[in-house]
Structure 1
Amino acid sequence: MTARTEKITQAFHTAMLTLLETHTLDALSITQICRTAKLNRGTFYLHYAKKEALYEEVMEAIIDDLLDAYFEPYEKNPQLSIWTLDETTISFFDHISKYRLFYGNIYKHAPNVQLQQRIYDKLYELFFADLLYRKDADPTLDIALLAGYQAGAILGMARTWILHDFNDEVSHLNAQLKKIMLLNT
């Protein structure tokens, strides 16, 4: 991707996220997106066939960033365990905070069950793959059930934080997550 293409893509992504703070996707027009991005319709159609294509690209970028945030502590310590986890390296809630308007929109202001399900599914896949390759896992545990529990639990924490208007600091959530994880060991 060229620097120019990347700049255009970023402008359209930012415009979409900005507009989704106050509009549903159905209520958005390509003209609004272009005006907000400060780009013309020709440029839009050069990159996207329709607004839904841009929306999908933005959602995938956010979900990819979510997965990157989850894996960040592992990059610093591949042998990571709950006992050695430094709560300051947890990035999951930093990601939620970074995209707080987006998450606030899909969980609170204009609930989007399909998108909530996509996020859950991605986290489920992530936890399932992680559990599948762990050497310390109890062989009698049903990893599908455990992956579902983990995905639901961390999204439950995030949803509660979102519904309480992000009242707690990220550091508090990180500390609570570690304590909760230690309860289950």
Structure 2
Amino acid sequence: MKANDLRVVKTKKAIYQALTHLLKDKLLTDIKVSELCREASINRGTFYFHYEEVGDVFKEFFEEVIRDLQESYKEPYKHISAVQLKNSAYKNLDPKTVRIFHHVKKFEDFYRIILSDNVSTAYYYMFFDAIRTNFIEDSKIGIYDESKKFVYSYMTNAIIGLIIEWHRNNFDESVDDMNIHLVETLNVLK
């Protein structure tokens, strides 16, 4: 079966949703395959056709979320030339083109879980590494400087800090407001 087969897509989406629902009340290590199958309305054979264990589902789902995050991060830079970006950093960044907070809203249930008080800090570091990687990949257009690695870690935490504060406020602020907060923060940090 191909990964883009509609049946596979629907099955995996049901499994991801079931896992997200179960993670609201349980640690990943406490979730059993049978419980996940019941929640997703699939049989164990279907589960084992795609995965070996529950942790594999989380890993795959996390990777999907991170791919979407990376695409969201890069979206505003599609409209700015490398020269403009290098010379003026974030001055030309239009808040309307920022997509990170659209991404967070799209995966709000997932972020509620990984930012909750009762999960491992491993989630935070995985999230941190994914965002920081985007800063490192910017080196392809001449921005990344090894001597500034601590600055990029600081900037990464600034972005995550905005997301954490949004989470603490129950995601009440609009995506547009968060985009403005991000651009203002990046311009202060530059």
Shorter-chain TM-score range: 0.7 to 0.9
Which residue in the other structure is 2:53 paired with? 50
Write the mapping of 1:30-179 to structure 2, written as runs, cut at 5 A: 30-79=33-82, 81=85, 82-130=90-138, 132-135=139-142, 137=143, 142-179=147-184
RMSD of Structure 2 on Structure 1 (CA):
2.1
Alpha-carbon distance, 1:76 to partner: 4.4
Tell whether the 8 Å contact from 1:128 to 1:143 is kept in structure 2 after alignment: no
State TM-score, norm by structure 1: 0.87
Take 2:132 and 2:62, find their aligned partners in 1: how far apart are those partners?
A: 17
Runs of 4+ in 1 over 6 A off after TM superposition: none
Give the gaps of 5 or more residues in structure 1. Answer: none
Give the gaps of 5 or more residues in structure 2. Answer: none
What fraction of aligned residue pairs are identical, expressed as a percent? 26
For 2:121, give the aligned amino acid: V
Tell whether the 8 Å contact from 2:18 to 2:39 is kept in structure 1 after alignment: yes
Instruction: Count residues in correspondence.
Output: 182
Moved more, 103-112 or 47-56: 103-112
Task: Name the SS of the counterpart of 1:142 in structure 2.
Answer: helix
Take 2:120 and 2:165, find their aligned partners in 1: how far apart are those partners?
A: 16
Moved more, 57-66 or 27-36: 27-36
Take 1:104 and 1:63, find their aligned partners in 2: how far apart are those partners?
A: 15
* Per-residue CA distance 1:64-99 (angstroms, 9 max, x = gap): 111111112223445564233221111111111222
Task: Name the SS of the counterpart of 1:133 in structure 2.
Answer: helix
State TM-score, norm by structure 2: 0.85
Take 1:78 and 1:167, find their aligned partners in 2: how far apart are those partners?
A: 34
